[in-house]
Amino acid sequence: MGYTIAEKIIKEHIVSGKMMRGSQISIKIDQTLTQDATGTMAYLQLEALGIDQVKTEKSVAYIDHNTLQSGFMNADDHKYIGSVAKKHGIYFSRPGNGICHQVHLERFACPSKTLIGSDSHTPTAGGIGMLACGAGGFDVAVAMAGYPYHITMPKIVKINLTGSLNLWVSAKDIILKVLQILTVKGGVGKIIEYGGNGILSLSVPDRATITNMGAELGATTSIFPSDEITRKFLKAQGRESDWTALFADEDAVYDEIINIDLDSLTPMIACPHSPDNVKSVDEVGNLKIDQVCIGSCTNSSITDMMKVAYILKGKKVHPNVSLSIAPGSKQVLTMLAKNGLLADIIDAGARVLESACGPCIGMGQSPNSGGISLRTFNRNFIGRSGTKDAKIYLVSPEVAAYSAIEGILSNPTNLGEMPKFEIPDMFVVNDNMIEPPAEPEESSNVKIIKGPNIKPFPVANELPKNIEAQVILKVGDNITTDHIMPAGSKILPYRSNIPYLSQFCFEVIDPAFAGRAKAAGKGIIIGGVNYGQGSSREHAALVPLYLGIKAVIAKSFARIHEANLINTGILPITFSNPNDYDDIDQGDELELFDIRNCIENDLPIVLINRTKNIKIPVNCNIKGRNKNIILAGGLLNHLKKGLK
Ligand code: MIC
Ligand code: SF4
């Protein structure tokens, strides 16, 4: 029996466990990445682990999220991360160098290797044939310290792409189609592999757009083969020696195969407020728009920008529209400047932003009240843009640029002829904004710079015998980490200050939550399906821990968030029968009786609803190493016990 692409990489990296669907495995991690909004916490955790030099082949710390400096906090975090990086053997990508996933793809990602990053869109590197997973910052710190990464061996789904895309239809439309088919929970517990002759017309940045938004499917990761197209891309980046061929075997076995005929695709659009609320652009029709934002780790490559510049050239941004463009990296921006396309973009009236996440994470460019914003990004969760009543639609760069000129949602296939937008033969390579670490023998001279906003993170106690607490909040399905711990320019600067952050927990859903949790001293959250989908931010676990949350009882969990809850020391529990969710209300007093013993000895767990006087069977799906972590009260306590 042959192997799939992901299985081939896992086979080469497996440290413990058997490569069987559903079993616990650990894999060696070759590379890590962090960004600044999760990085400060990850490096505080790395410091707590007491390691001198990182043990990975390459670790890179990026500054790309918290780049709006309205106060000392973000700048202090940049200095802290820069100093930790220098001291501990980590490359430091300075602010202005670009979005972590775009830069990593250009300069570091390698086919056949493994990467984990403290950002959910780390699977972007799957576009080059790398096994790349998003993870909580603590898991990334632990990987930097040389420990393997633990996951449940996922199922493997093949998406078979056939045919070729019509003019002005692009990679974003493919992944939006996949989201329409699979939904935001359709990828949970799965790796998505792409194949078929349709991939032959997709460049590495196109492929990376697709693997990037695999995060929105909830997938463990997404991956393409490494072929001649990959080799050409790496050669153009001056890194041909990083290329290795990587293909699935003919007789590889998949759990599911989905066929998509590229010829049949038309431009697609994800409507508010979920990336899987997908329709065709024609179906949505003449939508009057207020804002267009082009960029983000999904669509900010040189070819994306070439298409945008072509559409904007000689035109003017519609008077009712504000158009912002953030090229994804210094490399992309430099090339646009050198080949003159930047002038076409500026001349049309676009507002050019620095190469960073920017509006995608609410760092500026919040839309007007009730505004309609078309964005080439990957997430359109309510409130994420910074304007709660704004409506965010996700589209391709082609749809975005054309609509910016027309002032209404417009189908770019009406543009007619299209030139071929090819990857350049040679990219402009200048890594002068990537600071190498100090030589190991000089690292002891590097001083860590820690500003006053950087506070210690909370640590849980051992799992108690019983958990008795009140339901502080009951929420529905598909709750995102943006609901749990919102981002945006006002809150993000406090990512390293959990006490301050805590007042905003669940603010979008229930502004009284934090006060209620604090007053109760301890509490339980009840969730629906796919609780904690979206980002990798472990703040969505650390902050509830700080507010006294002991357990989350849900119908099901998103992978990264469940791992973050366990690492933090909050117990994730699922209903044995999802209908029992209806038997619990906010304010009910619950008891997880003898819970420590039940988890330690794999005994059935009963949840007692004291208010309603009923017993509800629940499950704890925590196995293997995770069991010891939750019993110890989180990953730090676990590691301190000398366990691995
Ligand atoms: C996001 O797109 O939601 C983020 C901001 O990049 C997050 C990380 C974070 O919250 O810092 C992610 O995707 O993991
Ligand atoms: Fe940055 Fe947005 Fe990508 Fe997250 S999704 S890494 S905020 S560009």
Q: What is the distance in A from the centroid of ligand 1 to the CA of 482?
A: 9
Q: What is the distance in A from the centroid of ligand 1 to the CA of 36?
A: 10
The pLDDT of residue 643 is above 70: no
Share of the chain above pLDDT 90, in %: 99
Q: What is the distance in A from the centroid of ligand 2 to the CA of 360?
A: 6
- Taking 3-state DSSP, the helix, strand and coil percentages for the chain, each rounded to the nearest 5, stand at 35, 20, 45
| Contact between residue 130 and residue 113 where contact means Cβ atoms under 8 Å apart | yes
| Contact between residue 481 and residue 537 where contact means Cβ atoms under 8 Å apart | yes
CB-based contacts of 241: which residues, under 8 Å, 6+ apart? none
Q: What is the distance in A from the centroid of ligand 1 to the CA of 212?
A: 12
The two tokens of residue 25 are: 């495995």
**Residue with the nearest Cα to atom 2 of ligand 2?**
360
* Residue 523 dihedral angles phi and psi, to the nearest 5°: -170, 175
Pocket of ligand 2, candidates 66, 375, 377, 489: which has the most ligand atoms within 8 Å of its Cβ, to mutate? 377
Nearest ligand to the C-alpha atom of residue 124: 2
Beta sheet of 155-162, edge-to-edge order: 221-223, 190-195, 155-162, 256-261
**Residue with the nearest Cα to atom 4 of ligand 1?**
535
CA atoms 203, 310, 239, 205: torsion sign: negative
Ligand 2 pocket list (CB less than 6 A): 65, 99, 119, 121, 296-297, 357, 360-361, 377-378
Q: What is the distance in A from the centroid of ligand 2 to the CA of 379?
A: 9
Confidence (pLDDT) at 642: 79
Model confidence over 29-38: pLDDT tens digits?
999 999 999 9
3-state SS string for 587-630: CCEEEECCHHHHHHCCCCEEEEECCCCEEEEEECCCCHHHHHHH
Pocket of ligand 1, candidates 119, 297, 508: which has the most ligand atoms within 8 Å of its Cβ, to mutate? 119
Model confidence over 300-325: pLDDT tens digits?
999 999 999 999 999 999 999 999 99
| Contact between residue 278 and residue 180 where contact means Cβ atoms under 8 Å apart | yes
**Residue with the nearest Cα to atom 10 of ligand 1?**
537
Q: What is the distance in A from the centroid of ligand 2 to the CA of 361?
A: 6
The two tokens of residue 308 are: 């945008």
Half-sphere exposure of 7 (CA within 13 A, CB side): 19
Atom of ligand 2 minimally distant from the CA of 300? 8
Q: What is the distance in A from the centroid of ligand 2 to the CA of 633?
A: 31
With b meaning 16 or more CB within 10 Å and e meaning fewer, what string describes 379-391? bbbbbbbbbeebb
Establish whether residue 495 lines the binding site of ligand 1, counting it when its CB lies within 6 angstroms of any ligand atom: no
Query: Across-strand partners of 33?
Result: 60, 117
The two tokens of residue 513 are: 């939550």
Going by pLDDT thresholds of 50, 70 and 90, the confidence category of residue 1 is confident
CA-CA distance, 537 to 482, in Å (whole number)?
Answer: 9
Model confidence over 249-308: pLDDT tens digits?
999 999 999 999 999 999 999 999 999 999 999 999 999 999 999 999 999 999 999 999
Model confidence over 223-240: pLDDT tens digits?
999 999 999 999 999 999
The two tokens of residue 393 are: 């639609």
Q: What is the distance in A from the centroid of ligand 1 to the CA of 289?
A: 26
pTM beyond cutoff 0.95? yes
The pLDDT of residue 644 is above 90: no
Average pLDDT over residues 485-505: 96
Nearest residue to 13 (alpha-carbon basis) of 131, 129, 127: 131
| Contact between residue 5 and residue 223 where contact means Cβ atoms under 8 Å apart | yes
Atom of ligand 1 minimally distant from the CA of 361? 5
Confidence (pLDDT) at 129: 99
Please provide the average confidence, as pLDDT, over all residues in the chain. Answer: 97
The pLDDT of residue 489 is above 80: yes
The two tokens of residue 210 are: 């697709």
Confidence (pLDDT) at 255: 98
Query: Across-strand partners of 552?
Result: 525, 572
Model confidence over 166-213: pLDDT tens digits?
999 999 999 999 999 999 999 999 999 999 999 999 999 999 999 999
Nearest residue to 160 (alpha-carbon basis) of 264, 265, 258, 262: 258
The pLDDT of residue 102 is above 90: yes
Burial classification of residue 168, based on how many CB atoms lie within 10 Å of its CB (0-12 exposed, 13-18 middle, 19 or more buried): buried
Atom of ligand 2 minimally distant from the CA of 487? 7
Q: What is the distance in A from the centroid of ligand 1 to the CA of 121?
A: 8
Helix/strand/coil for 485: coil
CA-CA distance, 193 to 622, in Å (whole number)?
Answer: 27
Q: What is the distance in A from the centroid of ligand 2 to the CA of 295?
A: 10
Confidence (pLDDT) at 92: 99
Query: Across-strand partners of 184?
Result: none
Model confidence over 328-362: pLDDT tens digits?
999 999 999 999 999 999 999 999 999 999 999 99
Average pLDDT over residues 456-482: 97
Q: What is the distance in A from the centroid of ligand 2 to the CA of 571?
A: 28
CA angle, residues 124, 127, 131, in degrees to nearest 5:
75
Model confidence over 369-412: pLDDT tens digits?
999 999 999 999 999 999 999 999 999 999 999 999 999 999 99
Establish whether residue 120 lines the binding site of ligand 1, counting it when its CB lies within 6 angstroms of any ligand atom: yes
Query: Across-strand partners of 214?
Result: none
The pLDDT of residue 641 is above 90: no
Pocket of ligand 1, candidates 62, 120, 543: which has the most ligand atoms within 8 Å of its Cβ, to mutate? 120
With b meaning 16 or more CB within 10 Å and e meaning fewer, what string describes 42-80? bbbbbebbebebbebebbbbbbbbbbbeeeebbbbbbeb
CA-CA distance, 123 to 634, in Å (whole number)?
Answer: 26
Share of the chain above pLDDT 70, in %: 100
Pocket of ligand 2, candidates 121, 301, 394, 536: which has the most ligand atoms within 8 Å of its Cβ, to mutate? 121
